[in-house]
Chain A
């Protein structure tokens, strides 16, 4: 399926990635090309095939519900672009 510019704009919005207007035309072509390529899969009959959801043939391991780590506020904030009083800060969301 070929994508149009409106769809590219919509996907970019969903992905929260700003794409310059000037770049969108090129993206329409590139993404449509990739979609045409991956659509080859429709040639294969997959009825009755279970989707592969795990590469490793083993049950998901479980652990005891215990706190084993923590107390790392400084470590966690160390790379924050902006922080105040031990918190991450973001632009105002509530007026």
Chain B
């Protein structure tokens, strides 16, 4: 029998129901793997005791024939989701002591569906970063390394701990959040699947806010089918989030028919950027050929404002961040640095509590929202954002789904891009446009680079049409036959 940690979420689900193994055994295997994988620094807080208790409850349910959709399946939770009684840090010093007294809607839905919590995984501080290097708790190691090269690779970000945990097989799946690519880019860097659903599908309630008009939760898994299964349990209307959409949640697993005959797939010309590595271009071409061979019709489409998506994002996201993070004042929760008066306490707390990248974004956000600059920056960005959304709406008059690379490179070495914020921001060039328009996007592992690191392809769909995105992703996955996996160097 394959090891329990090698199972897909779907196979683990079926195996539990067929009583081939128990939820307690499945949890134990993952807890052991999690402990063995500590060198990756993927977890901020491990919760093996909770995992055991939840798995025992699952075994009782299974025994009495009362299994729920995710019964007994061990998951890693990004440490941005508030979990009742379990420390939630957002990978920030300022929230280091924070223990929520409530549960986020998305995690509550997962527990209600029977899932088992392994712990809280690392991320870029407040989800601000593309390499998991801004975490107060230290960087996460990508389980993948270049063959014959011992240097650390970044796992991508911000959901880097989630991606590492799933890729290195110490969680069956993980939750992620995506503001400008934070699910899709780490999924690509670690050779797994990650889907950001349409904005409004998953409730944001109880997720530590970064940029509220962009933040969206989603699953990170090893297969498209697993993503479909987990996504269904995460979505749904929540009156506690004013942007949650009151809409039926489809059975996404049923959308995976494998049939894309006649589907119109758009190839956005503007994503062919200057200096794009050859291997990214060739995997993209390969992906298009795979879809064509499966009966899809390829069509070039124009998204003329693509190059302005990143600058727009780097106004909108910091503006919202500076506003959202105003709540960290040392009064109600988190860190407090003493000061001789109230202002000194605020400034000291926030100066000591936020890391460099977060401070930088708060400052940019404060500047673009300040008197005299609001119209020139923030309002301008909101107008351009409307035009970017209109570009996509036009493209989707002609095609059903868009195919593009997920990231402009494979996983880079640690420290390679930390000196230049703009170089780091450019990682999200292919993921940010769909985020601005609120559209669903998925990254599917498509192959390896010449030096042996995973490469991902991205599919972007119409709003609320995750089904077409997942169906097409299933076909890509089938064609790509991505079976490579990282060497388990951390076990030595």
Binding site for B on A (CB under 8 A): 3, 7-8, 11-20, 27, 30-31, 33-35, 37-44, 46, 49-56, 58, 60-61, 63, 72, 75-76, 78-82, 88, 90-93
Contacts and interface: CB of A to CB of B under 8 A. Distances in A.
**Contact count band on B:** 35 or more
A41 B309 CA distance: 9
B67 interface: no
A15 B322 contact: yes
A55 B311 contact: no
Interface stretch (B123-131, B259-267, B343-351): B343-351
B7 interface: no
Given A41-B380, A56-B245, A63-B239, A18 B351 contact: yes
Given A18-B350, A41-B312, A81-B334, A56 B360 contact: no
A72 B367 CA distance: 37
B421 A56 contact: no
A84 B245 CA distance: 41
B331 A88 contact: yes
Contacts of B396: none
Contacts of A37: 310-311, 314, 422, 425
A90 B342 contact: yes
B249 to A, nearest CB: 16
B311 A17 contact: no
B386 interface: yes
Contacts of B97: 79
B305 interface: yes
Contacts of B348: 18
A91 B386 contact: no
Interface stretch (B36-44, B98-106, B179-187, B475-483): B98-106
A56 B386 CA distance: 12
A79 B350 contact: no
Given A79-B99, A80-B331, A46 B387 contact: yes
Contacts of A53: 382
B324 interface: no
Interface of B: 97-99, 101-102, 199-200, 213-214, 239, 242-243, 245-246, 305, 307-308, 310-312, 314-315, 322, 329-336, 339-348, 350-352, 354, 359-360, 362-368, 370, 377, 379-387, 389, 420-422, 425, 437-438
A61 B363 contact: no
A38 B245 contact: no
Contacts of B360: 27, 30-31, 34
A16 B187 CA distance: 35
A40 B343 CA distance: 36
A11 B370 contact: yes
13 contacts: A3-B367, A15-B350, A27-B360, A37-B311, A37-B422, A49-B386, A51-B383, A55-B199, A56-B245, A79-B334, A90-B342, A91-B341, A91-B344
B366 A58 contact: no
Contacts of B336: 81-82
Contact of B199 (A33, A39, A51, A56): A56
A11 B367 contact: yes
A31 B363 contact: yes
A82 B377 CA distance: 39
Contacts of A46: 380, 383-384, 387
Contacts of B329: 16
Given A27-B363, A34-B421, A91-B345, 5 more contacts: A18-B347, A18-B351, A31-B360, A52-B386, A80-B333
Nearest to B382: A51
Contacts of A15: 322, 350, 362-363, 365-366
